[in-house]
Amino acid sequence: MKPLLLAALLLPALVLAKSRPNIVFLFTDDHAPHAIGAYNGWLKSVNPTPEIDKLAAEGMLFEKSFCTNSICGPSRAVIMSGKHSHKNGFMNNGNTFDWNQQIFPKLLQKAGYQTAIYGKSHLKGQPQGFDDWAVLPGQGLYYNPDMIFPDGRRRIDGYCTDVVTDLAVEWLTKKREADKPFMLMVQHKAPHRNWMPALRHLSLYDDIDIPEPATLFDKWEDNAPPARHQELEIDRHMDLNYDLFVDLTPDFSQPPSQKRQDRSAWHNMKRMSEEQLKKWRDHYAPRDAAFHKAKLKGKDLVRWKFQRYAKNYLRSVKGVDESLARLRATLEKMGVADNTVVIYSSDQGFYIGDHGWYDKRWMYEESLMMPFIVKWPGVTKPGSRNKDLIQNLDYAETFLEMAGAPIPEDMQGASLVPLLKGEKPKDWRKSIYYHYYEYPSVHMIPRHYGIRNNRYKLMHFYQFGEEWELYDLKTDPDELQNLYGKKEHAQLATRLKKQLVKLQKHYEDDSDISEKPEVWQKQVRPLE
């Protein structure tokens, strides 16, 4: 066959291959954007994420990326389905995901992609739509975790972030079919509570003080009542033993300090090897002794708790950053990096002492925002930053368009591919919709829904009646001044309420948003 004819015959296949990139989706748990250097938040001076920053420098960073429901399982369900929680059926962590429904991995398989997922699923049940998988049972453990494989459950020795990365690298290098495009989801437990770093990172940041957030001692005086009735304060609710490892050993016997105490770190220590436990206690024991000697109280105690918490959180982030570096190095070594989209994201944001809190769930910015960074070789402009309003609702549609697969009409998001190409769609959304459902439950954040546009945010804690909050994010980015109920902002509130109703109708959210009886309100909120 003549060379020119052969080239002509091969050209369509080559074009098709380039139009169907591989996709590596690195997804973490509770990684706040302000704990990523590239986001230029108040923690940027510490900068635990040089590898994620490098990805941002080589691709596109989304500055206004938000979740639809700020909690682990529901966020993942939204990503899988491309539908809001009320549509995919997974509204809180107590639900079980219906794997039989339409999800994007199944559609990618139909389009000829090989798919795999390793790490935290948090959706219960056996994953569908994946050619290979291994997931943590529930939340999973940081050290020597159990993993559920298609053929059963088994323990893998090591640090969870490293274990998950090992599985992903093994699949890339030994298990996948080289002639197929692939979609790989690498889903880390870190930096989820109880923030247990790898042994190699225990001393990281020992020589510095982590900057304090400006709102560390916020008293929520201008917020609606829910802000004063939560259970996620570093001051009153963060446990010295179970959250911060003070005196914590496998045989620790002191009862938890609160009703809904997470004791996973304590349970995890019982799984540590003798060598792991010795290194852990060799690090913490002298620091615990110094803490007891100091006899801290009041704000000094809060500051000490913040420092230990923030350092362990950022140490856990460091392991994730190293995972990204290893995955990218593997892609380079395999020779597929130039045709692989690498995406970094997390299921929601997190409070790292902001407003005196830890955890997430609220519609406030720190937990509403989620990182989203994409390097798509030959498509995304290096170092570009996008300011359009996006949500995890858009991920499934984006993956499908990248793969050249049709996007089902009943998916509720919009593909981000035009934005990634640097285009400016005239019909792009002007506001986002949010709805949180898990109450009463851990941390006691009431159900609420709301709207956020480029400047304003309105939210409603509906189970307690007319508890509304309205913020001007331009003049009050920390959301310290609730404008709702103030005469001069009445027209603004009315306008946003109308837009909120339109969004509810658009997304077909017919959830029960009625006020609860007074008896119920007094039971869950006994003190005003």
Could you tell me if 25 and 160 lie in one domain?
yes
Q: Are residues 380 and 234 in the same domain?
A: no
* 402 shares a domain with 317: yes
117, 135 in Cβ contact below 8 A?
Answer: yes
Angle of helix 50-58 versus helix 298-334 axis, rounded to 10: 50
Q: How far apart are CA 340 and CA 194, in angstroms?
A: 33
Specify the CATH number for the domain of residue 501.
3.30.1120.10
Cα–Cα dist 333/137, whole Å = 32
Query: In 4-59, where do the E strands start and end?
Result: 22-28
Same domain, 394 and 277: no
Check whether residue 369 and residue 329 sit in a common domain. Answer: yes
Contact 123, 140 (CB under 8 A): no
Distances (CA, A) of 488 to 77, 128, 485, 495: 40, 53, 9, 13
Length of the chain as a residue count: 528
Looking up residue 99, the CATH number of its domain turns out to be 3.40.720.10
- Our count of domains for the chain comes to 3
Residue 470 lies in a domain: yes
Looking at the structure, do residues 393 and 286 belong to the same domain, yes or no? no
| C-alpha–C-alpha distance, residues 223 and 297, integer Å | 27
**Which structural domain range is residue 137 located in?**
20-195+309-433
CB 71 within 8 A of CB 93: yes
Whole-number Å distance between alpha carbons of 401 and 17: 14
- The answer to whether 314 and 249 are in contact (CB under 8 A) is no
Q: How far is residue 495's CA from residue 484's CA, in Å, rounded to a whole number?
A: 12
Whether 129 is in a domain gets the answer yes
> Are the beta carbons of 348 and 368 closer than 8 angstroms?
yes
Same structural domain, 367 and 429: yes
Nearest to 106 by CA among 133, 83, 127, 136: 127
- In the structure encoding, which two tokens stand for residue 296, read together? 């801290």
Q: Which residue is it, tokens 């080559």? A: 14
Residue 284 belongs to some domain of the structure: yes
Q: What is the CA radius of gyration of the chain?
A: 23
Cβ atoms within 10 Å of 42's Cβ, excluding its own? 16
Question: Is residue 84 within 8 Å of 433, Cβ to Cβ?
Answer: yes
In a domain, 291, yes or no: yes
Same domain? For 69 and 91 the reply is yes
Q: Please report whether residue 241 resides in a domain.
A: yes
pLDDT of residue 14: 38
465 lies in the same domain as 406: no
Residue 220 counted as domain residue: no
Name, in order, each residue with C-beta under 8 angstroms of 236's C-beta and a sequence gap of 6 or more: none
Of 370, 379, 322, 371, give the one whose Cα is nearest residue 23.
379
DSSP string, 458-492: EEE-GGGSS-EEEEETTT-TT-----TT-GGGHHH
C-alpha torsion sign, points 469, 472, 476, 478: positive
203 is a domain residue: no
Distance between CA atoms of 105 and 185, rounded to whole angstroms?
Answer: 10
Backbone phi, then psi, for 421, in 5-degree steps? Answer: -85, 0
Domain boundary among 282, 308, 334: 308
| Residue 11 forms part of a structural domain | no
Tell which of 308, 334, 368 closes a domain. Answer: 308
282 plus 264 within the same structural domain? yes
Q: What is the pLDDT of residue 528?
A: 53
How does strand 456-460 pair with strand 448-453?
A: antiparallel
Per-residue 3-state assignment (H helix, E strand, C coil) for 67-95? CCCCCHHHHHHHHHHCCCHHHHCCCCCCC
Q: CA of 473: how far to CAs of 19, 56, 66, 217, 454, in Å?
A: 39, 25, 15, 20, 8
Print pLDDT tens along the chain (528 aa). 444 444 444 334 334 445 699 999 999 999 999 999 999 999 999 999 999 999 999 999 999 999 999 999 999 999 999 999 999 999 999 999 999 999 999 999 999 999 999 999 999 999 999 999 999 999 999 999 999 999 999 999 999 999 999 999 999 999 999 999 999 999 999 999 999 999 999 999 999 999 999 999 999 999 999 999 999 999 999 999 999 999 999 999 988 888 888 999 999 999 999 999 999 999 999 999 999 999 999 999 999 999 999 999 999 999 999 999 999 999 999 999 999 999 999 999 999 999 999 999 999 999 999 999 999 999 999 999 999 999 999 999 999 999 999 999 999 999 999 999 999 999 999 999 999 999 999 999 999 999 999 999 999 999 999 999 999 999 999 999 999 999 999 999 999 999 999 999 999 999 999 999 999 999 999 865
Q: Which residues contact 415 (CB under 8 A, 6 or more apart)?
A: 394, 397, 398, 400, 401, 407
First-to-final CA distance of the chain? 85
Given 374, 403, 433, the domain boundary residue is 433
Same domain, 296 and 315: no
Whether residue 326 is found in the same domain as residue 299: no
Q: Distance of alpha carbon 173 from its chain centroid, rounded?
A: 27
Q: Quote the tokens at residue 54.
A: 């490098």
